[in-house]
Structure 1
Amino acid sequence: MSVSLIPHPSRRSRFWYVDIAVPAELLAIVKQPRVRRSTGTTDLTLARAEGARIEAEVRAEWQELARKAAQASPQHPLTGNTPPPATNAADAQASSRLIELPPPPVYDSPGKPTVLSRSVIERVCAMRMADWEKTLHDDRDINTGDKQKDRIAAKALAREMKPFSRRIGRMTRTVIARGNVARAWDDVAEQALEYAEDAGYLVASDDPLLHDFVLAFAETVAAANAVLRSLSRSDPIRNEVLRQATTALLRTGDSYHTDLLALAPSRVQHYAPAQGHWLTWMSIWLRLDAMPAIQHLEAVIKACNAPADADELVVLLCSKLGGSHGAELPMGATSFLLPRSLAWLIPLVCRQVRNEDDIDRTSKGAYSPLPRDNAQDFRARLWEVLRTSDSPEADAVLRGFLDERSLLSDREWILSIQDERKGKQADPTAWLPEDIQSFGALYRHRPRSNYQLYKLTTRLLADIKAGVEISENATDRLQVRDGDKEVHFQGFLKRQLDHRALNWFAVTQESTIDLNQRPDLRIEIPGLSALPVEVKLANLDHWTAEKLLERLEVQLVGQYLRADGVNYGVYVVGNTEPQRQWQRPGDRKLIGFAELVALLQARADDGRQQRPG
């Protein structure tokens, strides 16, 4: 997809939007430099697919406009605003009318606009009201196991919620009657159109009943203002009321975010850490401005009397931020999900919500999630947000995590995320229909990019390795024997790869590549860069650990990967003497083949982090 996906500029919609730049030669026809349309989804993967469809649709519309313009005025260029010279007054008038015609309206979503009617207005406003009612009535069911206490608590909560409920009731009656109270017309009109779009109703900006619709929708905004004024004076006594009121404001739109952010840093000072009110305001602070909130949280953790108290505090906060187990994390204006915030938040969470203390619910039947369940689920979803982020900043954050002491146990996971992200960045190549058929039958498909060739080769080499080491067929296990020389090992690998090539690629031995440097094997497909494969038999007497490391760095990386367009290489190390040992560089301790491979793998990982692309 050649266009970009962006969040809504004002953050009033959680959907991803397609941002398309209008080509210069079409500006005279389209009449605007950019087109923005909603994908109708918060899922980034679905948004990419929908974005590609929207892009194709928009470009088809532009082509049709260009065709009609060319038919209406064959000699009038697409660029510029000057009409061709008119031969008479009638022609001049017709040409003027052609140029002054307004462009067709461009809507924020694909599809046909909905014609507003009284029932549609009431339906959309009622849906907005239902969102409020759901927010304000979430968690009203109190169930502690003691019915007597539950009834008392429910009555107390109902009494405290009464002012909010009265405002909601008045708003409902006003919306149904389509009252005429409106504030900040342009802002409310934009909110009304965007909410209707999110609800599935595309409303044209020139609809005759748009005025009535905006007036009705304004009453919903007025109700939110009433809630904010109440919060500005003081917090409700019960934390459930505070949580419901602030959540309603957060869901209403970012016009209230500045006011909530102004309250949060001072309100957290009014309560002891881990209290309900403290957790609510702290979570709001993290959502709206994460960096200072994380710094404050670090200071609170250091001030805890015991490590267990700090752990419990972070568990409760993570449970508050993540919500119910498995629920979708809030997106949009959520500050703590930005990569620069995750660089600080993930180590903090992993330090206090440790992997080794996780609750294992596997095969233990039904259960009700505890705060610790929600916290470890929240930790996993923070990693997922970073893994799937489209921001280049996420790559820098992951590189920094490799040196983070609190994340040493997650190093392999971090490296796997980096490999996956680099693969996606390096390989935007889409599959063709025949690739899907091939994968369904063979579990692989023809490589169409350098990265796909590299991945296929490494998978085939792993298959060959398994055949030699663990095959039940004695003939397979004897393919590599003690006493073989490297040229025999290279020839064996070439034959095995040729057998698995399916005529997709060719394997050549000792081919010349860049400055007469010669890799042992070279995997070639027309139109793609060749993949160098360096092969070593580590048990041969002249191979020390130092020399094997040197060949990895100098020969494979320094020589073969210097060629233009060659970004991938494979280093194959074999051993036919199980008892053979090598001296480890540094302490000269004797190590076996498995430790030698781990040493080479670690050096390769370090080199991969330092090498761009």
Structure 2
Amino acid sequence: MSALLARPGADAYHAMQRLADDPVFALRSHRFHELARGKAERDAENPAWTAAEVVTFERQFTAPVKTGEDLLRLVMGVLADIAQNLTKGDATSRALLERAKDEEEVQHWLVEQMNARAHGRFHAFREAEVALGHKPDVIAASTSAPCQVAVEIKHGGKSWSARDLENTLRTQLAEDYLKEESRRHGVLVITHHRDRRWQRIGDNKPISFSDLIAWLSGIAATITENAVGQISVQCAGIDAWKRDTSADPPKATEAKAKSRDRRRPVAS
């Protein structure tokens, strides 16, 4: 019991709750619930910062990552910045990503982009076990706490269907890659490289890349646990495809022409 109460994290808390609800411990149920609540209150306290982390915060305005939830939030912010810069930045590597021939090239590119924005808070890397399917494509590990985020990457220009991507989210990422105690958070990243549509589950109607990401994000929000305990997963999209608009009619010119036509008196 002492070892269970001393162990931080959601797994130990839920274990205490299961003990409290077990008929075998009915006479101690109220006490066990009190112990579980006290444990949750202690776990809710943010881990203390070191002197070096305080100095870094003062100089760089970047807080250390102390929990898996903090790391997931940071990784999602970094992915959003990558996606934003890819489409809105003055000088980007969008064309390089668009030409990526397979997921390995995307992985190398994404690790480089993530580490460039880490500012010492985490380190993104690939491991040799990827080839054997034992590890996620990319792991983001905090530099100030024993927590990791699994990043699974799918090349949207390949033959992955919407159902394939859903299975990747539910099984490969949520079940297979989030079993370690230090890795209970994950992100499915899908990249978009060419003009294509996916078939929506249910009515087989074509949906865009943005609709696909929104649909998968909704599913991710419902996944809160796997076989070993509480988890959290999210989905992110990186759009590298740039539609060629050179052949499109100039909309502004057309609008002005139509406006002039409406003001022009009709000939009798």
Sort the TM-score into its range (normalised by shorter chain): 0.5 to 0.7
Q: Greater helix percent: which structure?
A: 1
Partner residue in 2 for 1:469: 87
Aligned residue type for 2:75: T
Distance verdict in 2 for CA 1:606–1:426, change over 3 Å:
farther
Cα distance in structure 1, aligned partners of 2:68 and 2:221:
19
Cα distance in structure 1, aligned partners of 2:192 and 2:45:
33
Partner SS for 2:219: helix
**Which of 446, 452, 461 is the equivalent residue of 2:70?**
452
Partner SS for 1:480: helix
Partner residue in 1 for 2:12: none
Q: Does 1:521 align with 2:138?
A: yes
Cα distance in structure 1, aligned partners of 2:106 and 2:44:
31
Aligned residue type for 2:67: S
Contact 1:511 1:522 in 2 (8 A): no
Contact 2:197 2:207 in 1 (8 A): yes
CA displacement at 1:532 relative to structure 2? 1.3
Cα distance in structure 2, aligned partners of 1:592 and 1:448:
37
Contact 1:471 1:477 in 2 (8 A): no
Aligned residue type for 1:599: W
Partner SS for 2:185: coil
TM-score (norm: length of structure 1): 0.28
Partner residue in 2 for 1:573: 190
Q: 1:295-334 maps to which residues of 2 (within 5 A)?
A: none
Cα distance in structure 1, aligned partners of 2:178 and 2:225:
15
Aligned residue type for 1:454: L
Q: Does 1:598 align with 2:189?
A: no
Distance verdict in 2 for CA 1:443–1:600, change over 3 Å:
farther
Deviations 1:540-565 (A, max 9, x none): 1x200000000001100010012233
Partner SS for 1:569: strand
User: Which one has a bigger Cα radius of gyration?
Assistant: 1
CA displacement at 1:457 relative to structure 2? 2.0
Aligned residue type for 1:584: R
Aligned residue type for 1:547: D
Aligned residue type for 1:496: Q
CA displacement at 1:453 relative to structure 2? 2.5
Contact 1:537 1:575 in 2 (8 A): yes
Partner residue in 2 for 1:550: 167
Deviations 1:214-237 (A, max 9, x none): xxxxxxxxxxxxxxxxxxxxxxxx
Cα distance in structure 2, aligned partners of 1:534 and 1:558:
12
TM-score (norm: length of structure 2): 0.61
Partner SS for 2:116: helix
Cα distance in structure 2, aligned partners of 1:561 and 1:568:
7
Aligned residue type for 1:484: K
Q: Which runs of 5+ in 2 are unaligned?
A: 1-35, 232-268
Partner residue in 1 for 2:148: 530
**Which of 561, 566, 574 is the equivalent residue of 2:178?**
561
Partner residue in 2 for 1:539: 157
Cα distance in structure 2, aligned partners of 1:464 and 1:479:
14
Deviations 1:62-98 (A, max 9, x none): xxxxxxxxxxxxxxxxxxxxxxxxxxxxxxxxxxxxx
Partner residue in 2 for 1:494: 111
**Which of 576, 583, 587 is the equivalent residue of 2:203?**
587
Cα distance in structure 1, aligned partners of 2:45 and 2:68:
8
Distance verdict in 2 for CA 1:426–1:548, change over 3 Å:
farther
Aligned residue type for 1:580: R
Aligned residue type for 1:444: T
Deviations 1:254-294 (A, max 9, x none): xxxxxxxxxxxxxxxxxxxxxxxxxxxxxxxxxxxxxxxxx
Q: 1:70-149 maps to which residues of 2 (within 5 A)?
A: none
Cα distance in structure 2, aligned partners of 1:446 and 1:530:
14
Cα distance in structure 2, aligned partners of 1:593 and 1:544:
12
Distance verdict in 2 for CA 1:563–1:574, change over 3 Å:
same
CA displacement at 1:516 relative to structure 2? 6.0
CA displacement at 1:444 relative to structure 2? 2.0
Cα distance in structure 2, aligned partners of 1:581 and 1:556:
23
Contact 2:148 2:184 in 1 (8 A): no
Distance verdict in 2 for CA 1:476–1:436, change over 3 Å:
farther
Partner SS for 1:561: coil
Cα distance in structure 1, aligned partners of 2:196 and 2:88:
20
**Which of 49, 60, 70 is the equivalent residue of 1:442?**
60
Partner SS for 2:93: helix
Q: 1:186-335 maps to which residues of 2 (within 5 A)?
A: none
- The CA RMSD measured in Å over matched residues stands at 3.1
- How many residues of Structure 1 are paired with residues of Structure 2 in the alignment? 189
Deviations 1:348-375 (A, max 9, x none): xxxxxxxxxxxxxxxxxxxxxxxxxxxx
Q: 1:350-429 maps to which residues of 2 (within 5 A)?
A: 428-429=46-47
Contact 2:147 2:183 in 1 (8 A): yes
Q: Does 1:480 align with 2:91?
A: no
Aligned residue type for 1:561: L
CA displacement at 1:504 relative to structure 2? 4.2
Partner residue in 2 for 1:293: none
Cα distance in structure 2, aligned partners of 1:459 and 1:479:
22
Distance verdict in 2 for CA 1:597–1:459, change over 3 Å:
same
Partner SS for 1:478: helix
Aligned residue type for 2:198: W
CA displacement at 1:525 relative to structure 2? 4.2
Cα distance in structure 2, aligned partners of 1:503 and 1:595:
34
Contact 1:427 1:449 in 2 (8 A): no
CA displacement at 1:461 relative to structure 2? 1.8
Cα distance in structure 1, aligned partners of 2:142 and 2:98:
31
Cα distance in structure 2, aligned partners of 1:516 and 1:548:
16
Contact 2:184 2:230 in 1 (8 A): no
Cα distance in structure 2, aligned partners of 1:429 and 1:550:
35
Partner SS for 1:502: coil
